[in-house]
């Protein structure tokens, strides 16, 4: 988990960001601060991995907080979250991971979290037996062993991860990231923060709107949305 501290002098902005971050499995909000002074104190106490940091605050602003925490033993990453676009250049002088503008867009936030994951979550070493022959899914009173090649796609919904095969849908409490890790070595690709698809079964990719695409799988009527952030890499994968 990436431990996050939310810093903003406006309660509504903190609540909104906490809610949006709660949708991301890799982020754990460990605290909130309503001023720059409290932010520095809580950074020392809680040692978060990242500060989601407002810029305009009375007394000690976000830039001063970013400068202050550079001297700590554990220096957190910084994601600025502000209503003011004018400080972006200065923000990146503090090596900010991202600069989010209010009102927050979920896709922009997802991009920032992807950058944080690349920076803060180390890749697991791949061993010779990393590719499992079966995917074990524990039910209420039994364990199902699935052939990963039979899985069409996987998605996260209502705090459950759902695994769609040719014949039925299985549910697990594993986070989507855990299932993705277990399927390493197979031809699965993330098309959205909540969806993985098996590239073997992709039949059609159709432009939708705002840079996004819709994807159709062999034998399935429903269409899956491909976030614009993943379109380019997906097309490269499919066109090899």
Q: Are 196 and 179 in contact (CB under 8 A)?
A: yes
**Domain formed by 135-239, architecture:** Beta Barrel (2.40)
CATH fold of 2-120 reads Rossmann fold (3.40.50)
Distances (CA, A) of 89 to 8, 10, 70, 98: 20, 24, 18, 11
Q: Please give the pLDDT value at position 40.
A: 94
Q: How far apart are CA 137 and CA 182, in angstroms?
A: 11
- Name the band, by pLDDT with cuts 50, 70 and 90, for residue 237: confident
Enumerate the CATH 2.40.50.1020 domain ranges in the chain, comma separated: 135-239
Q: How far apart are CA 54 and CA 47, in angstroms?
A: 18
Whether the pLDDT of residue 166 is over 80: the answer is yes
Whether the pLDDT of residue 187 is over 80: the answer is yes
Q: What is the pLDDT of residues 124-162, one digit of tens each?
A: 444 444 566 778 787 666 778 888 889 999 999 888 899
Enumerate the CATH 3.40.50.2300 domain ranges in the chain, comma separated: 2-120
């Amino acid at each position: 988990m990436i431990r996050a501290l939310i810093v903003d002098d406006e309660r509504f902005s903190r609540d909104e960001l906490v809610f949006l971050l709660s949708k991301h499995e890799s982020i754990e909000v460990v605290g909130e601060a309503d001023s720059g002074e409290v932010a520095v104190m809580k950074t020392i106490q809680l040692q978060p991995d990242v500060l989601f940091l407002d810029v305009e605050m009375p007394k000690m602003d976000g830039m001063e907080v970013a400068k202050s925490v550079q001297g700590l033993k554990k220096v957190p990453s910084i994601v600025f979250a502000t209503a003011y676009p004018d400080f972006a250049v200065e923000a990146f002088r503090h090596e900010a991971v991202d600069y989010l503008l209010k009102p927050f867009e979920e896709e922009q936030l997802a991009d920032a979290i992807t950058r944080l994951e690349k920076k803060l979550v180390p890749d697991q070493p791949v061993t010779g037996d990393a590719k499992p022959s079966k995917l074990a899914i524990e039910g209420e009173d039994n364990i199902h062993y699935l052939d990963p090649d039979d899985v069409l796609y996987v998605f996260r919904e209502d705090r459950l991860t759902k695994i769609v095969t040719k014949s039925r849908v299985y549910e697990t409490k594993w986070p989507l990231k855990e299932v993705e890790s277990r399927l390493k070595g197979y031809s699965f690709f993330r098309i959205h923060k909540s969806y993985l698809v098996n590239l073997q079964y992709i039949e059609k990719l159709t432009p939708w709107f705002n840079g996004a695409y819709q994807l159709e799988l062999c034998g399935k009527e429903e269409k899956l949305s491909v976030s614009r952030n993943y379109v380019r890499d997906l097309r490269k994968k499919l066109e090899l």
